[in-house]
């Protein structure tokens, strides 16, 4: 499904879609998310399009190179080709000893440069089911409390209220975490820390992104 985010109608349609999914095509980041993000010049109005605003903040936590990889871009290969452009890997039979030394030195410098480049940041998309003690507890209050949890490397995504049984409802909410910064156990402990509201928490889905 495509959305035109340059007008309010398209933003509303996308906002409605994000009420039941974390990203443009479901619960995994894709090239559609990168394309939609690039079509926006700035973050949308959070008061009018709350789900899109959360999605925008989530996608913005990735850098341009990471977003390009979702769409299958090969910018890293192109950059490597530019770095290699002036390096003569083979040389001619008539190459003298001095030029051979220069070539070897440049190859060593190139290898050292490549080894220092940081790898991509490992991230995970998690969906939680948060259950209250009984039907007297306001699920909106639970969501407000959960979203108040702030950690370096944590971005909350879309949330929705789902029925359980006997009039009891639960909150289903997704988030993206940087694996090296956020412990899933610590995050679950923070949510269950709202002991007057939260009875239990389950991990519905856990996907690497």
Domain identity same for 107 and 134: no
For the chain, the domain total comes to 3
Contact 85, 44 (CB under 8 A): no
Give the domain range for residue 170: 123-208
Q: Residue 81: what pLDDT?
A: 39
Token pair, residue 138, equals: 């306001």
Domain identity same for 110 and 131: no
pLDDT greater than 50 at residue 84:
no
Average pLDDT over residues 179-183: 90
Domain membership flag for residue 3? no
| 3-class secondary structure per residue, the chain | CCCCCCCHHHHHHHHHHCCCCCECCECCCCHHHHHHHHHCCCCCCCCCCHHHHHHHHHHHCCCHHHHHHHCCCCHHHHHHHHHHCCCCCCCCCCCCHHHHHHHHHHHHHHHHHHHHCCCCCCEEEEEEEEEECCCCCCHHHHHHHHHCCCCCCEEEEEEEEEEEECCEEEEEEEEEEECCCCCHHHHHHHHHCCCCCEEEEEEEEEEEC
CATH code where residue 201 lies: 3.30.70.60
Q: Give whichever of 16-25, 35-44, 128-137 has the largest mean pLDDT.
A: 128-137
Proportion of the chain above pLDDT 90, given as a percent: 40
The per-residue pLDDT for range 102-153, each reduced to its tens digit, is: 777 777 776 676 666 666 788 999 999 999 999 999 999 999 999 999 999 9
Domain membership flag for residue 86? yes
pTM exceeds cut of 0.85: no
Lowest mean pLDDT: which of 11-15, 20-24, 77-81, 98-102?
A: 77-81
Contact 59, 37 (CB under 8 A): yes
pLDDT greater than 80 at residue 55:
yes
Q: Residue 95: what pLDDT?
A: 60
Domain membership flag for residue 2? no
The per-residue pLDDT for range 150-168, each reduced to its tens digit, is: 999 999 999 999 998 888 9
């Amino acid at each position: 499904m495509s959305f035109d985010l340059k007008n309010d109608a398209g933003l509303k349609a996308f906002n409605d879609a994000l009420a039941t999914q974390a990203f443009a095509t479901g619960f995994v980041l894709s090239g559609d998310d990168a394309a939609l993000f690039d079509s926006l010049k700035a973050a949308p109005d959070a008061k009018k399009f709350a789900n899109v605003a959360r999605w925008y903040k989530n996608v913005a936590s990735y850098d341009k190179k990471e977003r390009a990889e979702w769409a299958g871009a090969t910018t890293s290969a192109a950059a490597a080709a530019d770095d290699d452009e002036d390096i003569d890997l083979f040389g001619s039979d008539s190459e003298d000893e001095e030029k051979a030394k220069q070539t070897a030195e440049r190859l060593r410098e190139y290898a050292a440069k490549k080894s220092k480049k940081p790898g991509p940041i490992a991230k995970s998309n998690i969906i939680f089911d948060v259950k209250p003690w009984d039907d007297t507890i306001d699920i909106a209050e639970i969501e407000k409390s959960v979203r108040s949890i702030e950690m370096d490397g944590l971005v909350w995504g879309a949330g929705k209220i789902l029925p359980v049984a006997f009039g009891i409802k639960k909150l289903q909410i997704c988030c993206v975490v940087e694996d090296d910064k956020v412990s899933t156990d610590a995050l679950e402990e923070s949510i269950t820390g709202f002991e007057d509201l939260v009875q239990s928490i389950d991990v519905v889905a856990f996907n690497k992104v």
